[in-house]
């Protein structure tokens, strides 16, 4: 098994994407009003400083993109080229032009057959539809047929943000929880067993809510027939450690999943290098039954991604 340290939650912001979306819009999405800068050199420097051998790149959530199929194809090509120019340093989760299913299915074929990507990034909702919605069934059927890895990342919720904190602070973890619940309650996790779902940021608030979710499913008419064992459905999911390098979230994860389903992630460049260094120090010293850091840092991702 690989001894590499693999970062499954690393983003990239190529110039072609920034130019198309607009820096003002990207700035507005950040808690401090300033979008991070990104470069290949900065990514490699962060990885070298933190002992990270490989980063799996993805385009983070953002605004609605005009002509998304064309722009995201260019981003997927860029990531594949980057991996070719830096062998062993970068993989990629390809972006899909959702909610347009036909265009997304075309990109699935291209990304897997031509680019040989590691999987796909899906956002928690599209136009207010969460991933368990029947709208996404044709896509999940194809991803299941392909045995694909799906990295689930939060995005802006389809409702007004309460004036408590920026969306990335509270709403993003809640978004991950909502779409995970959607996938579980709809039966999608059970039906599409060949799709390996990774939930960002330790699953948001899902680990804390698993007992409540399981009880509710047992009380919902027809739900238990779709879901089967809710706890088994949760255990089938993968979780990353991005922005979650602490005893509380990792202890919660250890209660609901197995040691081989926890993956290392940084959230670079949206998490600055100082934060990555701080979270890394905590992870290096963590001692929690059910959390095996040699597996978290590389073995689990190596197995999942076929390294």
Spell out the alpha helix ranges (H) of the chain: 15-21, 23-28, 40-49, 68-85, 101-110, 137-146, 171-185, 188-191, 206-219, 223-227, 230-235, 247-256, 273-285, 293-294, 300-305
- Convert the pLDDT of each residue in 35-73 to its tens digit: 889 999 999 999 999 999 999 999 998 777 889 999 999
Q: How far is C-alpha 219 from the geometric centre of its chain's CA atoms?
A: 30
Supply the Cα-derived Rg of the chain in whole angstroms.
18
| Residues of the chain under the 70 pLDDT cut | 1-2, 28-29
- Convert the pLDDT of each residue in 235-261 to its tens digit: 999 999 999 999 999 999 999 999 999
- Quote the pLDDT of residue 166: 86
- Quote the pLDDT of residue 80: 98
- Quote the pLDDT of residue 2: 52
- Quote the pLDDT of residue 300: 98
The domains located in the chain, with CATH, are 6-305 (3.20.20.140)
- Quote the pLDDT of residue 35: 83
CA distances (Å), 231 to each of 201, 207, 300, in order? 19, 11, 21
- Quote the pLDDT of residue 1: 45
């Amino acid at each position: 098994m690989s001894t590499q340290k693999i970062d499954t939650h690393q983003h990239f912001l190529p110039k072609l994407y920034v130019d198309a979306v607009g820096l003002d819009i990207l700035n507005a999405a950040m808690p401090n009003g300033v979008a991070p800068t990104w470069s290949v050199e900065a990514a490699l420097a962060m990885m070298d400083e933190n002992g990270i051998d490989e980063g799996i790149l993805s385009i983070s959530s953002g605004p609605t993109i005009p002509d998304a199929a064309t722009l995201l194809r260019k981003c997927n090509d860029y990531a594949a080229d980057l991996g070719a120019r830096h062998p062993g340093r970068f993989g990629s989760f390809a972006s899909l032009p959702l909610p347009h299913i036909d265009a997304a299915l075309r990109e699935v074929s291209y990304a897997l057959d031509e680019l040989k990507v590691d999987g796909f990034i899906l956002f928690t909702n599209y136009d207010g539809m969460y991933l368990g919605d029947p709208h996404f069934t044709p896509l999940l059927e194809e991803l299941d047929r392909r045995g694909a890895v799906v990295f689930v990342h939060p995005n802006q919720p389809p409702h007004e943000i309460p004036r408590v904190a920026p969306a990335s602070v509270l709403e993003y973890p809640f978004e991950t929880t909502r779409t995970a619940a959607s996938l579980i309650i709809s039966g999608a996790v059970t039906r599409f067993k060949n799709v390996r779902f990774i939930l960002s940021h330790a699953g948001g608030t899902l680990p804390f809510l698993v007992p409540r979710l399981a009880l509710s499913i047992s009380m919902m008419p027809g739900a238990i027939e779709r879901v089967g064992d809710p706890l088994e459905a949760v255990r089938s999911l993968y979780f990353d450690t991005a922005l979650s390098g602490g005893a509380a979230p990792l202890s919660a994860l250890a209660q609901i999943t197995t040691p081989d389903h926890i993956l290392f992630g940084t959230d670079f460049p949206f998490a600055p290098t100082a934060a990555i260094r701080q979270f890394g120090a905590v992870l290096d010293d963590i001692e929690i039954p059910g959390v095996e850091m040699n597996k978290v840092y590389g073995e689990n991702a190596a197995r999942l991604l076929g390294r």
